[in-house]
Amino acid sequence: MGSKKHNKLTTFLFALITFTTVNSQNATNGNDSNCPSLFGPNYPTKQRELLRPDAEGRQLMCQWVIISDRQNCPQFFQHCGLNPMMCLRQNEIWFQCVSDCEPSCSDPSPTCPRRCARAGCQCFPGFFRQHQKGLCVPVTQCPGEKSSELSCFEDEECQGPSNICRDGKCHLGCSSDRNCQKFEQCVGGHCLRRKSCNFDGQCEPSRVCIANNCQSVHKLTCVSHSNCPNSAFCGDDGHCQLPFRAAGDERQ
């Protein structure tokens, strides 16, 4: 009985999230250039991982996916379940809102004016499609690329998790808040999660602004879905829950 209830809830949430893609912009660049970079401290080191069996002995799999937030900007989320939305080809990731022109070896920074209308698998951020139906590879494996180091003049020219331009080379870190997620700030060259806030938009998707502090959604009690913020829903335990677990989220 519990398994059927879990499956119905998962199906409902998946349909709800997929429905929002109709009004979303492409998930590579979001609605405009104001979207924060995906290459912050939450950039995943693994695409997927197995979890310990749950109370019913089921083996769950966690898979990184990219969804669109309220501003239609891409965010890393970790989806855990029996049947995660997996991309089987190497260096690909499931996008809630795919781009009509994903980054490729021939065009690493494409501009997509069209709106997206579907979900699917595309190259993991920082990787590039070799050709139309080719594999996703790091820039060093693109045809004609001989150097393992990227040259740059500005931070915006750096691709992948190395998002700071220093001495003509791309390095990992941040030089200003614009290198970080919108709910983070650059402190000492590192992107750190904001603890203070004035409104929800300054907190990461799994947190809300309460008394000028970013607090976990899971702390909020509820009796119906309307009591929960954003895309959260009211769980059986009377607390707000998210359909996905945000990168770096802690239940505290």
Query: 111 with 211, same domain?
Result: no
Give the integer Cα–Cα distance in Å for 124 and 159.
12
The string over 54-87, giving b where at least 16 C-beta atoms fall within 10 Å of a residue's C-beta and e elsewhere, is eeeeeeeebbbbbbbbebbbbbbbbbebeebbeb
Which pLDDT does position 53 carry in this prediction? 66
Query: 141 with 227, same domain?
Result: no
Share of the chain above pLDDT 90, in %: 0
Confidence tier at 157 by pLDDT (50, 70, 90): low
Distance of CA 232 to the CA centre of its chain: 16
Q: Which of 146, 178, 203 is the last residue of a domain?
A: 146
pLDDT at 113 over 70: no
Query: 106 with 40, same domain?
Result: yes
Which pLDDT does position 49 carry in this prediction? 61
**Is 187 within a domain?**
no
Give the range among 75-84, 109-118, 119-128 with minimum mean pLDDT: 109-118
Query: 43 with 108, same domain?
Result: yes
Query: 111 with 232, same domain?
Result: no
Give the integer Cα–Cα distance in Å for 228 and 174.
33
**Is 51 within a domain?**
yes
Comparing 183 with 130, the larger pLDDT belongs to 130
| pTM over the 0.85 mark | no
DSSP state of 227: G
Q: Which of 146, 168, 203 is the last residue of a domain?
A: 146
The residue range of the domain holding 117 is 1-146
Name the nearest CA neighbour of 123 among 17, 15, 38: 38
How many independent structural domains does the chain possess?
A: 2
Q: What is the CATH number of the domain that holds 46?
A: 2.10.25.10
Confidence tier at 152 by pLDDT (50, 70, 90): low
**Is 24 within a domain?**
yes
**Is 140 within a domain?**
yes
Max avg pLDDT among 36-40, 119-123, 128-132, 164-168:
119-123
**Is 115 within a domain?**
yes
Max avg pLDDT among 45-49, 192-196, 232-236:
232-236
**Is 184 within a domain?**
no
Which residue type is seen at 108? P
Which pLDDT does position 41 carry in this prediction? 65
Q: Which of 146, 162, 178 is the last residue of a domain?
A: 146
Give the integer Cα–Cα distance in Å for 111 and 65.
22
Confidence tier at 212 by pLDDT (50, 70, 90): confident
For residue 179, how many other CB atoms are within 10 A of its CB? Answer: 21
Confidence tier at 17 by pLDDT (50, 70, 90): very low
pLDDT at 249 over 60: no
Average pLDDT for the chain: 68
